């Protein structure tokens, strides 16, 4: 019995990873399923999450924490500019703890759960405390007045680095030997 190779090109598949003569080519992220994180690539037995699903999860998580923290801050302080250094000094550590503790306990953040992705060690096991605390430490730059803009720059660099890495890892993932995978 012949079992076809699942990695072989399928001419009937609209997401065929082989070059085409018409329509979008693999040179564009939207035509390449690997960039979209739909599961073509298997690395060390795991399917890496694509950059777009990771970005969407980040936006959901950061927005959730920002909304909750702006409500809490306004209860205690009254009206405050949510982009002010004081608000950032409170919100950044809360975001860091939210991301780190949920990853550390084996749970997923709300954004990662909604998008079906999670953070693991490179071998697929649960992340350790030093790994997740260091992996998410870049968000703490937001709390430093006049340097918080560096978080945006660093976030963009991390996002771009996911596209460039063969294992779809950001710089922070490579630093601490973690991976974001599809569950």
Residue 20 scores a pLDDT above 70 = no
The residue that leads in pLDDT, 22 or 64, is 64
pLDDT attached to residue 120: 92
Residue 102 scores a pLDDT above 70 = yes
In a domain? residue 15: no
In a domain? residue 138: yes
**Which residues, listed in sequence order, are joined to residue 34 by a DSSP beta bridge?**
none
**Cα–Cα distances in angstroms (integers) from residue 158 to residues 2, 78, 139, 169, in the given order:** 43, 35, 12, 9
In a domain? residue 2: no
pLDDT attached to residue 105: 85
Percent of the chain with pLDDT over 90: 36
In a domain? residue 126: yes
In a domain? residue 16: no
Confidence bin at 3 (pLDDT 50/70/90) = low
In a domain? residue 34: no
In a domain? residue 14: no
CB-neighbour burial class of residue 112 (10 A; exposed 0-12, middle 13-18, buried 19+): buried
**Cα–Cα distances in angstroms (integers) from residue 156 to residues 124, 139, 151, 159, 170, in the given order:** 26, 12, 9, 5, 10
pLDDT per position as a tens digit, 37-85: 444 566 667 889 989 999 999 999 999 998 998 888 888 877 667 667 7
The total number of structural domains that make up the chain: 1
Give the pair of three-digit tokens for residue 145: 């007045």
Task: Give the whole-angstrom CA distance, residue 28 versus residue 163.
Answer: 12
- Residue 156, classed as helix, strand or coil, is helix
Residue 139's domain comprises 45-182
């Amino acid at each position: 019995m012949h079992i076809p190779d699942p990695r072989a090109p399928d001419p009937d598949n609209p997401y065929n990873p082989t070059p085409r003569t018409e329509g979008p080519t693999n040179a564009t992220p939207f035509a390449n399923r690997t960039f979209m994180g739909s599961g073509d690539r298997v690395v060390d037995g795991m399917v890496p999450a694509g950059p777009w699903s990771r970005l969407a999860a980040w936006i959901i998580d950061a927005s959730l924490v920002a909304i909750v923290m702006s409500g809490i801050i306004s209860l205690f302080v009254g009206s405050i500019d949510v982009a002010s250094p004081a608000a950032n000094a409170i919100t950044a550590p809360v975001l860091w703890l939210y991301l780190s503790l949920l990853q550390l306990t084996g749970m997923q953040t709300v954004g990662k759960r909604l998008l079906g992705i999670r953070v693991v060690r490179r071998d697929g096991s649960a992340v350790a405390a030093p790994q997740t605390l260091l992996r998410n430490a870049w968000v703490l730059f937001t709390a430093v007045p006049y340097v918080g803009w560096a978080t945006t720059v660093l976030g963009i660099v991390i996002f771009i680095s996911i596209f460039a890495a063969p294992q779809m890892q950001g710089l922070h993932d490579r630093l601490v030997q973690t991976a974001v995978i599809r569950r």
